[in-house]
Amino acid sequence: MREALGPYRAALTLGRRRSLILLLVVALSLFGALAWGSYRDLNGQRRFLHQLQTGTFTQESLFRFGVACQGGEFNVPPPGELGPSGESAGPPGTEGKPTGPPSAPTCQFVGPDGTPIGPTFEGDPFGGPGGPKLDPQFIDQIRPELITSQKMLVREMEKLLGPRFILSSRIHGLGTFVGMVFVVLFAATFIGADFRWGVWRTLLSHEPRRAKVLASKLAAMWTFVIVGFLVALAVTTGVDVAMRSVLHVHANGGPSTIHLAKESGWAALSLELYATIAATLALAVRTSIAGIASLLLTVGDHLIVGKYHWLRHFSPVQQVAALLPTPERIATAYVWFPRVTGGFVCDRTSTPDGFPNCREILFKPIPHWRASVVLATWTVGFALLAWAVLRARDVPQ
């Protein structure tokens, strides 16, 4: 018997190895593309710095710098001011109105943080037709200061790409929509496929204690989600380490190890919740498609909270947004709904112009501990709902 099953087992083992290799290649390709998107801006800034240092840049390249201008107003005489001959500066009725051509504004280049760069000059070089109009000698004069500003920008970007900063960004991305799509597909298939292949019918026909069967299923699903999250995080970390080594990015600083551990726990809790929602819907309708449709609940959740702000204290979407907000400047792979931070309150009275008298109010931020409790409560609630549905329905035939 064992000899007869030998070729079958060998084929099954080979198939699993091929599937594992294919999955690993897909994961490395996906995370490699995400990592390259994080370092692409740094490469562009480094290339421009090299162009500034070698003098091979074009005037159009200066568009990456901002220009701050002052002045440029029309010549407006104050009311009652007289001209040089003692007469009025203009015809009667023109007091306080423009009487001459506008003066050229005084402008200066500024860096991304608003820091002035180089001397001032007249006129906005980017405002007129025909593109930038700067004298080459003037560009050579301010080029050292442009190089200094560009070096500071490159150093700031390298800091944001440090190991702990980028790891925090990856945790936020995996804990929101990117990781959620995978766990919802997995949970819906994990539960729904058992109905298709008759696994539930076999288990429930021979084991009357349905709660025990469901608990083992959910425990296995939660374990797979945690392991998958950790494996994905390890793969992304390895890809980022390789990218920093290739691009010679050396930076330190960022969130503490304790904070990164907390963020990992919050991301895992978010994934566990939506995996449980998908499993419950798939168990109720007995098909995987119902579980996948759980992603639509996030859209409805956000729309309802946008209209009724008081629901933000109970909304799973808002709890995830409070625990895993958008990373600063580096948000590759982060896709999630924004936090509801305020709203408008309008009185019955109106302004003199006839518009409603409204004022903006700011909401208190949701504490992390409360958001964690709300997500855990939702997870337990959907697990109990799955138990109630399984207990109430007949054995699938």
- pLDDT (average), residues 287-292: 79
pLDDT of residue 85: 45
pLDDT of residue 263: 94
Q: Cβ neighbours of residue 361 under 8 Å, at least 6 residues apart?
A: 342, 343, 344, 345
Which residue do the tokens 């001209």 mark?
83
Picking from 9-13, 146-150, 154-158, which range would have the lowest pLDDT averaged per residue?
A: 9-13
Regarding predicted confidence, which is higher, 355 or 362?
362
Mean pLDDT of the chain: 77
Regarding predicted confidence, which is higher, 324 or 107?
324
- pLDDT (average), residues 197-221: 75
pTM: 0.73
Q: Which amino acid is at 305?
A: V
pLDDT of residue 282: 86
Give the Cα separation of 136 and 205 in Å (integer): 86
Residue 77 has pLDDT above 90, yes or no: no
Share of the chain above pLDDT 70, in %: 72
Regarding predicted confidence, which is higher, 123 or 101?
123
- pLDDT bucket at 223, cuts 50 / 70 / 90: very high
Give the Cα separation of 312 and 244 in Å (integer): 39
Helices 163-175 and 177-196 cross at an angle (nearest 10°) of: 40
Q: Cβ neighbours of residue 39 under 8 Å, at least 6 residues apart?
A: 161, 243, 247, 249
pLDDT of residue 76: 47
- pLDDT (average), residues 291-320: 88
Regarding predicted confidence, which is higher, 263 or 74?
263
Picking from 95-99, 263-267, 325-329, which range would have the lowest pLDDT averaged per residue?
A: 95-99
Residue 17 has pLDDT above 90, yes or no: no
Regarding predicted confidence, which is higher, 100 or 285?
285
Top mean pLDDT of 164-168, 304-308, 375-379 is at 375-379
Q: Which residues pair with 345 in a beta bridge?
A: 359
- pLDDT (average), residues 214-220: 88
User: Contact 69/124 with Cβ under 8 angstroms?
Assistant: yes
Give the Cα separation of 125 and 341 in Å (integer): 39
- pLDDT (average), residues 23-41: 71
Q: Cβ neighbours of residue 76 under 8 Å, at least 6 residues apart?
A: 96, 97, 98, 99
In the chain, the N- to C-terminal Cα span, in Å, equals 32
Work out the burial of residue 159: count CB atoms within 10 Å of its CB; fewer than 13 is exposed, 13-18 middle, 19 or more buried. Answer: middle
Give the Cα separation of 382 and 376 in Å (integer): 10
pLDDT of residue 367: 93
Regarding predicted confidence, which is higher, 163 or 121?
163
pLDDT of residue 276: 94
